Structure 1
Amino acid sequence: MTHALALNVLDASSIASSVGLLGLIAIIFAETALFVGFFLPGDSLLFLAGALCAADAAASGPHLQLATVLPGVSVAAIAGAQTGYLLGRRFGPRLFDRPDSRLFRRAHVERAHEVLHRYGFGRAVILARFVPVVRTFMNPLAGVVQVPVKAFTVSNVVGGLLWADGLTLLGYALGRVVPIDRYLIPITLVIIAGSAIPVVREYRSGQRAATRG
């Protein structure tokens, strides 16, 4: 009960230490499937989960098993995106026809649409995985604009594996050479800062496009 009360869904280290593998899978699924998941720390959570897999199992901090984390996050990432896509196909434009609220911003949809238009179906679905917020809204948007099911599914699987397994393995590699329990806070801050870079780039790109327009 104490762990549950201490859970902070915006903090990757809190998630990993409080709810473990099942919580990790649920967060990754929610971030890629549901609008309400756009604020969740997917990148930093995957990276940290990999680092925790490399941590000493006998240490006092949280520890995860790479053999279960990799398939778990892969399935969550792929299933989440496919769910978002199917919701977009099922409900169509009505899904985005709503006023701005605390959990919905039309600007997020417009940014995802810009990526889709700029790179085409396949590349956009894959690249969106590595752009926070955009990866959440790309999947239902692809369904709304009727991206072919086969094309989306193939790109979803490729992008999901590259993102989920790639970041997890990067974290694992770092955890093998850095004592994660000693440097948990600075490593988490670096991961969060790195996750923000694509958002800043997209924002600046949008600002330049608006200026030229």
Structure 2
Amino acid sequence: MFWKKKKLHYTLDHQPPLNKKLKDMSFTIFDTETTGFAVGAKDRLLEIGAVHVEGLQVTDMTFHSYVNPEREIPKEIKSLTGITEEKVKEAPKALEAIEQFFQFIEASESAGWVGHYVSFDVLVLKKELKREKHTFEQPQFIDTLDLIGYLNPSWDMRDLSHYARTFGTNMFERHSAIGDALTTAYLFVEMLRLLEERGKTTLADLLHITDNPSKALL
């Protein structure tokens, strides 16, 4: 039953003023890898990677953990990600790994979460916690797809490497949670700089561009 669930907590930089400059804010950019896309049913979390961005700079503060999915990893996922049973057999289970991720977020003192097609990654965490009869506060997040849609509204592709090449940003190992988090972090920083060039410099500007109540940073 829902009322029996234990809520996990993490602390963000809550309620920053709307006129706060983006260059003075910090964010947690993260990504996940899973055994497949059916995360509401049979598929499980395999890996979490996160990077801290502060002052329009990608920092060296990172988080990475493989996750023991407690199930066989499909051959196509092994081929795509390079993650094998050998790599995850001593890894923490999902609940422990997510708790460690939340600890990283608190240490980073970030204003919110950022990801590329981030709603999927949030769903992964929610489903894993639900399996353990846990829940957590509605995450506050920004999707880089929204920023891309604002800067280049004619684009409809979701491929992260395509955008990294187009924006001329650093690209790291694909289909690795920490690699994709790093790629997304550099892409996010570049887009914030492009927004600055267009006069979009504040939190209010960012919220207007990503105008979705479920993604609000407040």
Normalised TM-score (structure 1): 0.29
Higher helix share: 1
Q: TM-score, normalised by structure 2?
A: 0.28
Greater per-residue strand proportion: 2
